[in-house]
Structure formats: C-alpha cells, structure tokens
Amino acid sequence: MKVVILDDAAAVARYGADIYREQLRKKPDSVLGLATGSTPLSLYRELIDGNRRGEYSFAGVTSFNLDEYMGLSADHPQSYRQFMNREFFTHIDIDPANTHVPPGDAVDPIQACRDYESAIAAAGGIDIQLLGIGRNGHIGFNEPTSCLNSRTRVKTLTRETIADNARFFRADEFQPQLSVTMGIGTIMEARLIVLLATGQSKAAAVQAMVEGPVSSWCPASALQFHSSTVVIVDEAAASELSDPAFFKHIEEQNQALLGRLRAAGSA
C-alpha cells in the first residue's frame, strides 16, 4: 500500500487525477471504476478540464460505479446515477451507453447483482478503481462486518452511514437504508486502486486502514492485501498515522526515482 500525504484537498484531487490522466493516455479504452460522494468531486473537475483541453478522451472508456441506493430509480435526483450524470458524465465525451451504475430499482436485485458482476468481467475487468472511505472504514457500501471476499450484492446501511448521508435528503424525503454495492472481493480485483481521503473526520478510518489489523470491522483494511493500492490523503486525514514523516520520505524518494527515470528516457 502506497500512502501519499499532501498539503490539502486540492493537492489530493490533482494527484489522483494525474493517475487517471496517465491511465487514459496509456490505454484510451480503459475500464474505469468510479465513486460518488463529495471527496471525488474535485478529481472529476480536474478530469473534465483536461478532457475539454483535448489532453485525452473518454470516447473509448467503459465505466462502472461502486454503488447505488436501493429503492431509487436511475432518474431519481438523489440517485448516484443522476449524481454521476450531473457531476461528470455530461461534461466529458464518454458514450453514455458505456457508463454503468448498479440498478437501485431492479425487480430482481439478486440477479441484477450477478449481471453487474458479469458485465465487469465481460469488459475485461476494472483497470483502475476510485474509492473514498467512510468514517467507519467502509469502501463502497461495504459496511463493517462485510465479508472480505464479497461480490456485488444488497447491503444494509449502518445508522452512522445513514446519518452521514442525511444531509443530502430533505427531512420529508425518503432516504434509503439499503444499497447495491460492489463487494470487497470485486473491488480487490481491480488492477489499480486509488483511495482518496481528506479531513480530520477521516483520520481514524485512515489509521485503521493503513496500520490496523485486517478486519471486517474496518473493510478498507482489506486493501493491505492488494498489490497496487495508492492511498492519497491530506495532512488532516493523515493526522492519526503513527509516523506520517515515514510515508512522506518514501514518496520523496519515489518522486526522485521517477525524475531520474524520466531524465534517462529523454536522454
């Protein structure tokens, strides 16, 4: 697990966006795993700007989102499908037919979950998966006690997650308490995982993910077993790590090595 500690949320977004930019330049027909929530918004804006400048295209890209609220149709304004359309898809040159979000209103949700897994496999698997982390350590909607090799399925949201997301719903509006989410096992099959976390409220979860034991009580801790995970955090989210200077030193050395390799390649 590579841990990158940066000054602020804007720097986190730029660093994460650079990884996605490089992926798009290297493989224009990439399969991208995407996430919703407030944390990735700045990253999406960075990618939108680069696409508008003609630096790369999403025309050949296929995308799969992590999760969706159970009980909301794709056209519901609070659905994650609408979030992605509003914040990202309608601003880039991606083919809408190649964008996938788990169906929240499927007649047979169990079969819909199997179909989502099949669609990911048929696309060749996810090249790069974007993640956030919940205050309780969840990734996607894989809440504490989730099976660490789980597949796409229906999950009950914890009271903590429901409370955290209540700000997005009016007091008189239906707020789902179930979700459809990629499983941890599904996430772990991505070739590269990029996790973003910012703010003091995420510090305990980041510490448990990076330094704690691998446990279903902190689902994100399963990422310790992934061969290529980049955790990008700001100073506040890194504040409970035992030795932030250690990770900063490693990143400095990594960047110096990359600089030498680039110089040698251009010589």
Active site residues: 67, 136, 138, 143
Q: CA triplet 113, 215, 220: central angle to 5 degrees?
A: 60
Residue in 181, 195, 156 with CA at minimum distance from that of residue 1: 195
- DSSP letters for 103-157: -SS-SSHHHHHHHHHHHHHHTT--SEEEE---TTS-BTTB-TT--TT--SEEEEP
Q: For the beta carbon of residue 261, count every other beta carbon within 10 angstroms.
A: 10
Cα–Cα distance measured from residue 156 to residue 177, given in angstroms and rounded to the nearest whole number: 6
What is the rounded CA–CA span in Å between residue 247 and residue 252? 9
